[in-house]
Structure 1
Amino acid sequence: MGSMIVDHIYPATGRPNGTVTLAGAREIDHAVRAAAEAQREWVALTVDRRRDLLIDLADVVHDRLDELAGLNVADYGVPISFAGTALLLERFLRHFAGYVDKPHGVSTPVNGSFDINLVEREPYGVVAVLTPWNGALAVAASCAVPALAAGNAVVLKPSELAPFAAQRFGELCAEAGLPAGLVTVVPADAEGGEALVRHAGVGKISFTGGGTTARKVLQSAATNLTPVVTELGGKSANIVFDDADLDLAATLSAHQGPLMQSGQSCACASRILVHDTVYDEFLEKFVAVVAAAKVGDPTDPATVFGPMISRSAADRILATIETAVSTGAGELLLGGNRIGGALADGYFIEPTVFGGVDNASALAQTETFGPVVSVMRFRDEDDAVRIANDTPYGLNAFVQTTDLNRAHRVARGLESGSVWINQFSDISPQGPYGGYKQSGFGRTGGLEGLREFQQVKNIRIAMR
C-alpha cells in the first residue's frame, strides 16, 4: 500500500487545520533502507564530529523553540503554556552529545589464562521509534536522541493525530547537517506502523503508548525477534500524608492530575490517596484549584486546560464518567460534562473529580486517559502503600510529606519505576524513566537509557 493524504483535525475546533501524508509499506521500506545507509555513514564519522553535530542540532532546536511549541498546539490542542517539550528535546541533545566521545567498553580477565576480554558496545543499526500523539517531541528526546548518541539511525513514526512537530524535527535534523536519512520521520496509521515494526532492517524498536497496542507491537516484532523497549500506561497514585503542606499538595495534585495535558498523559496521577485526618481539608483545597483552572483556546498563554484529542476520545471519557456515577463508584464532586458555548465545536470535557472512590472499582483500576481523578482515604503508611500498589500499573508514584524518613520508607515500598517526592514528574536526561508491571519494560534517560540502544560484543584476545 502506498501513501495517502488525510485531513488533520484540530481538537480545539473540530475542524481541519492541515493535511498529513501517511506512509504506506513502500514508503516505510524506503525509509528503513535509507536509514541503514545513513547509519553506516554516521558511525564512520569520528566521535568528536558526531558529538558536535548533535550539539549543532541542539542549537538549531533552541532557535526554533517557539515554533516547535506552536506546532505542538496545532498537533493536539495542548495549551501553549504546556507545549514546551521542545526544551526537553534540546536538553536531551546537549546531555547525550556528551556521551558520544566517552569510553563505553571495558576489559576483563579470563580465568585460567592471561587472555583478555574486550567488552564493547555497538549500535543496533536502525531504531524504529513509535511515538504517541501526546508527546512526539518528548519521545524524540528520550528515545531518538539516545539512539543517535549510541550510533544508530532513527525512523520516527509519529501518530497520524499529531504529526506536525515531529515532521519539523526531522527537517531540523537535516538543517543541522546530520547525514541524509539518519533521522526519517514517517507519519503513519496502524498499518504503516505494523510495516515498520515487521521490517527486517529494523534492529531495535522503541514504543510509547497503550498496553493494547503494545501487545500488537510485540507480536509483530516477534516476526524477526526484534527487541523492544516500551513505556506504557499508568494509574499512578499520589499519596498525601497528614504532615504535607496541603496548599502545595493541592496545587501539585491538580497540575499532575486532571490539568496535566487535560489528563491525557501516562504520567498523570489519577488516583489521589489522602490520610483520613486531612482528607476533607485537602479535598476542599484541591477542588478549588482544579475549578479555578482556565479552560479554553490552547493558543492563549493563560489557558491551562485544553481539549481531548478526538471526538471518540471525548465520548469514551464521558461514558466512563457516566458509568462511574451510575454504579456508585464514588461521589461526583466536580465536572463530568461536555463543555458547550464557544467551545462546543471542540472536544472539551470539564475537569472531573470523584471523592470517596473504592480502589477496587473500574474507575480506580482502569486508565481513563482523560481529566478524571479518583480521591480516596487511607489510614496509615502501610495502608497507603497497599492501595497504591493495588493496580496492574507501575509507571509513576507521588508522595506528599515533609518527613524525609517517611518519604524514603514509602518510596522503597512502592512498585513504581519513578517516585516523585513533593514535586511533579519532571523527566530529565540524567534520570532513567520507565515502568514496573504493565507500565512497560526498559528505560529512557540516564546511562540506562543509552544502554537500551547498544548491543554488547565480547572480543577475546589470546595473550601467549
Structure 2
Amino acid sequence: MTHSAKSEALADTLPTALLIGGDQVTGSSGGRYEHIYPVTGQPNATIELAGDVEVDRAVKAAKEAQREWIAMTPARRRDLMIDLADAVKADVDRLARYNVHDFAVTYMTSPGHVMLAESFIRYYAGWVDKSTGSSTPVSDKFDVNLIEREPYGVVGIIAPWNGSMVVIGLNVAPALAAGNAVILKPSELSPFSPLRFGEICLEVGLPAGLVNVLPSGPEGGEALVRHPGIDKIHFTGGGDTARKIIATASPNLTPVATELGGKSANLVFDDADLDQAAILAAWQGPLGQSGQSCACGSRILVQNSVYDAFMERFLGVLGAATIGDPFDPSTMMGPVVSQAATDRILSIVDRAVDEKMGTLITGGRRMGGDLSEGFFIEPTVFADVDNRSSLATVETFGPVVSVMRFTEESEAVALANDTTFGLNAFLQTTDLRRAHRVARALQSGSVWVNQNSDIQPQSPYGGYKQSGSGRAGGLEGLHEFQQVKNIRIGM
C-alpha cells in the first residue's frame, strides 16, 4: 500500500449498521459494541450487534428473497453472480482496507483475501446453469427415476474473525450458486469488510434480503442457530464453539457443516531446499496472520541430519521480518486480534516454559516501544517439543510454533498423525516418490508439497478428524449447500 493509500485508510468511514432485507438497521436488540483496533488498542468504531429480533427479521427477508432468487432463470442468476465478482474486484482496495481495520491483517496479505473471494464467486457463477441431476434405471419397467439437487432455502453462515472475506468466497458463493439465501454472521471483532460486501450485493442487483449481514457475538450466533427458519448452518471456527452450535441446532435437527481448527505438521526432509523450506515455514507459521490461522503449520518436524542448517535459516527469516503497522507496505507481521488473545497466547508460552514442554529459542514476549499500545507478540519458537504436550496438541492461534526432530520417514508420519486435528499438512522434499508416499500416509484433508496453503475454487478444502465436516471448493463445495431429491414416475 502506498502512503497515499494509507492516508485513505485512515480517513475511511467504516460501516457499522446491520444489513437486513436491503436496509441498514440501527438500534438493534443486541446492543452496540466498541470495536478495538489491534494496532493501537483504541476504539475505531462502534457497531450494531444483532439479537433475536434482528435474526427473526433477517430470516423472513431471506425467505422472501430466496423465492425471488430461485424463480429467476439460471442464466440470470449466473450473470448476477458474475456482476458480483466484477464488483468485488473493482472494490478490492476498499475491501482490503476494511479487512485490515477488521483484525489488522497486513495490507500485504489483505488484497489476497478479497481476490480469493472474487475467484470463488466467479467460479461458482459458472456452476449456476450447469449443476445437473441424473436419471438412473431401477427396474425393467419404463419408470422414470430422477435424482435432483435443490437448495436448502435459508443458510446461516457463521464466519470467524480471522477471515470473513475468505468465508464469503468459500461458503457464501456456493450457497448463492446453489439457490439459497444467506444470513452471514461475522464476528463482532471483524465486521467491516462483510458489511461492505453486503452493500455490494445490493449495488449489483441481487434481491434485497438474499444476503443479510448480522455482526454479533455469541448471543446473536445462538439466536441464528436455534431459529426454526434456518435450513442449514455452516460454521467456521473452533471445536468448542462447534460443539455448542451442534447442540443448539439439535432441537430443530438443523444440519451443521463445519471447518474447524488445526495443529498442522510441516515435515522438512533432508533432501528439501532448505532456503525455501525456511521461508515457507516462517510464512505458514508465525508470520502469516501472526499465526492466527486454522492452516498454521504450528508443528515443524525436521530430519535430524539437516536440523541445525534448517533452524539457522528459519530463525534468520523470522529475525529479518518487519513487525508493525499493517498499513505500512514494509510490514510483514502485525498484531494479534485482541487483549484477550494476547493474554491467552502469553499464558500458553509461560506454561510451556514453566512445565518444560520444550526449549524457548526466541520470542515469547509482548513487544514494547512504539508497538506497546497494540497487541503485538514476538514470533515465538520452541525447540525439542514433546509431541504429547499441550503446546503441541492444543491450537495456539498465535505466532508460536513447536519444532521437533525425527530420524526416519515413518517416525515423521507417526508424529504428524498423532493429533486430534487433520486440516492441513505440509511436506518439504525434492523426492517425488517420497512426496506421493508421505502425502497419502498423512491424515489430513489437504497436503501441500513445497508450497504454502493456496486454496483455489476448483479444489475441495476441509478437514479430517476434529478439523471439521464438509468441504468448500469444487463441485463438493456446491453440493454442501444442496439437498438431494429422488423423483420416481411410474409409466
Q: Cα deviation per residue 1:324-377 (whole Å; 9 max; x = unaligned)? A: 111111111111110011111101100001111111111111111100000000
Q: Please point out which of 385, 403, 406 is paired with 2:434.
A: 406
2:475 is equivalent to residue 447 of structure 1? yes
Q: In the alignment, what sits opposite 2:283?
A: 255
2:399 is equivalent to residue 371 of structure 1? yes
CA–CA distance in 1 between the matches of 2:216 and 2:342? 23
Q: In the alignment, what sits opposite 2:38?
A: 11
1:24-423 alignment to 2 at 5 Å? 24-84=51-111, 85-423=113-451
Is contact 2:30–2:220 with CA below 8 Å preserved after alignment? no
CA shift at 1:434, angstroms? Answer: 0.5
Counterpart amino acid of residue 41 in structure 1: E
* Helix, strand or coil at the partner of 2:286: coil
Is contact 2:159–2:235 with CA below 8 Å preserved after alignment? yes
Larger mean Cα displacement after TM superposition, 105-114 or 251-260 = 105-114
CA–CA distance in 2 between the matches of 1:168 and 1:113? 55
CA–CA distance in 2 between the matches of 1:401 and 1:235? 21
CA–CA distance in 2 between the matches of 1:113 and 1:280? 72
Is contact 2:99–2:105 with CA below 8 Å preserved after alignment? yes
Q: Cα deviation per residue 1:21-61 (whole Å; 9 max; x = unaligned)? A: 00110001000110011000000000000000000001110
* Matched residue count: 463
Larger mean Cα displacement after TM superposition, 3-12 or 249-258 = 3-12
Q: In the alignment, what sits opposite 2:16?
A: none
Q: Cα deviation per residue 1:407-440 (whole Å; 9 max; x = unaligned)? A: 1100111110000000010111011010000101
Gaps in structure 1 of 5+ consecutive residues: none
Task: Give % identity.
Answer: 64
CA shift at 1:103, angstroms? Answer: 3.9
Gaps in structure 2 of 5+ consecutive residues: 1-27
CA–CA distance in 2 between the matches of 1:303 and 1:390? 35
Q: Cα deviation per residue 1:185-219 (whole Å; 9 max; x = unaligned)? A: 00011011001011111111100000110000000
CA–CA distance in 2 between the matches of 1:197 and 1:134? 21
Q: In the alignment, what sits opposite 2:47?
A: 20
Counterpart amino acid of residue 89 in structure 1: A
Q: Cα deviation per residue 1:86-125 (whole Å; 9 max; x = unaligned)? A: 1011101110000000141000101242212110000000
CA–CA distance in 1 between the matches of 2:429 and 2:132? 39
* Over 2 Å off, 4+ runs: 111-114
* Helix, strand or coil at the partner of 2:135: strand
Q: In the alignment, what sits opposite 2:21?
A: none
Q: Using structure 2 for the length normalisation, give the TM-score.
A: 0.93
CA–CA distance in 2 between the matches of 1:347 and 1:368? 15
Distance 1:280 1:385, change over 3 A: same
CA–CA distance in 2 between the matches of 1:450 and 1:378? 40
CA–CA distance in 1 between the matches of 2:255 and 2:128? 23
* Helix, strand or coil at the partner of 1:233: coil
CA shift at 1:3, angstroms? Answer: 3.2
Q: Cα deviation per residue 1:244-276 (whole Å; 9 max; x = unaligned)? A: 000000000000001110000010000000001
CA–CA distance in 2 between the matches of 1:16 and 1:446? 39
* Helix, strand or coil at the partner of 2:108: helix
CA–CA distance in 1 between the matches of 2:158 and 2:181? 14
CA–CA distance in 2 between the matches of 1:209 and 1:20? 22
CA–CA distance in 1 between the matches of 2:189 and 2:316? 33
Counterpart amino acid of residue 279 in structure 1: Y
Q: Cα deviation per residue 1:374-431 (whole Å; 9 max; x = unaligned)? A: 0000111110100000011000000000011101100111110000000010111011
Counterpart amino acid of residue 169 in structure 1: F
Q: In the alignment, what sits opposite 2:18?
A: none
CA–CA distance in 1 between the matches of 2:421 and 2:457? 23
* Helix, strand or coil at the partner of 1:449: helix
